[in-house]
Structure formats: structure tokens, C-alpha cells
Amino acid sequence: MSDLAEGSTAPAFTMQASGGREVSSAALKGKPYLIYFYPKADTPGCTKQACGVQEALPALGKIGLEVIGVSPDAMPPIEKFARKYNLAFPLASDEDHKVAEAYGVWVQKSMYGKTYMGMERSSFLVGADGKIARIWRKVKPEAHAAQVLEAAAAL
């Protein structure tokens, strides 16, 4: 678990993303952004969350907020997911979970009595100053976009 807290400087990152893009904290310098972590492309919860964010993009764009979704998937399933749901914002691949570890979201999980390491569904709202303004852990996919819009409007 990372000791990141609201007010901390957001960890630096550079990752490959959907649409042949590359996303990096350096390219976002001076702009507010949301980096959200999701467990697996094209699964029910992750689809709800991504589509909710996609629907909120026009409103988020009006307040100048960039959005990046991050999963441990390789690029081919991420590209397929982005195309299937026409997701305009970049979905990044963090296969080695370096970024997830920096944000403290690569955690031990358990299902059916087995424990394994996986991505915790979490989001970080980063202000134009590069500091974390809001952290949401164990995000509920349905409510996520509304929570982000409300917090981002207050930046």
C-alpha cells in the first residue's frame, strides 16, 4: 500500500495507450487530470465505469479535465475494449504494474478462497499543480463519473 494522500505529489508515469497514443504525467503538466485504475478491460464493472466516464467527457472537457484509464491488460485487449465502446479517452496498459504500485492500487485480493495480486478499482483526481486533490478507493462503477464531475468542478 502506498502512502499517497490528498495533497501528495502525483507519481510520474509514461504508458502506451489506446489509439496508438502515449500518456505521461509530463505531457499533463499544468493541467488537471483523472487517472483511474480498473481491473480488466471489457468486464461488466469496468465497462459500466468506462461508459460512465465517456458520457461525462463533454462536461469534464468543459472544465479542462483530461482522463486516463489504466489496467494491467496488454494493449490488444485494451484497443478492442476502446473500439467496442467508442471510448475517446486514452486507456493505458500497465502490464508491469509499476504505475499501479506507485499509486498503491496493486493489492492483494481474494476470490473463492484464493488470494492473488490485482488492480484495486481506484481513482485519483490530480490538480494542475500536480498534487492529488481527491482519492477514491474501491470505486463503485455506477457512481464514479458523477463523483468525479462534482470534485473536478471544485478544483
The residues annotated with a catalytic role in the active site are 46
Q: If you count DSSP H runs as helices and E runs as strands, how many of each does the chain have, helices first?
A: 4, 9
Residue 139 exposure: Cα atoms within 13 Å on the Cβ side:
31
Give the DSSP H/E element, type plus range, for residue 148.
helix 144-153
Task: Take residue 135 and report the three cell numbers written for it.
Answer: 482519492
Side chain identity at 97, as an amino acid letter? H
Q: What distance in Å separates the CA atoms of residue 153 and residue 64, rounded to the nearest whole number?
A: 10
Residue 91: half-sphere exposure toward Cβ, Cα within 13 Å: 32
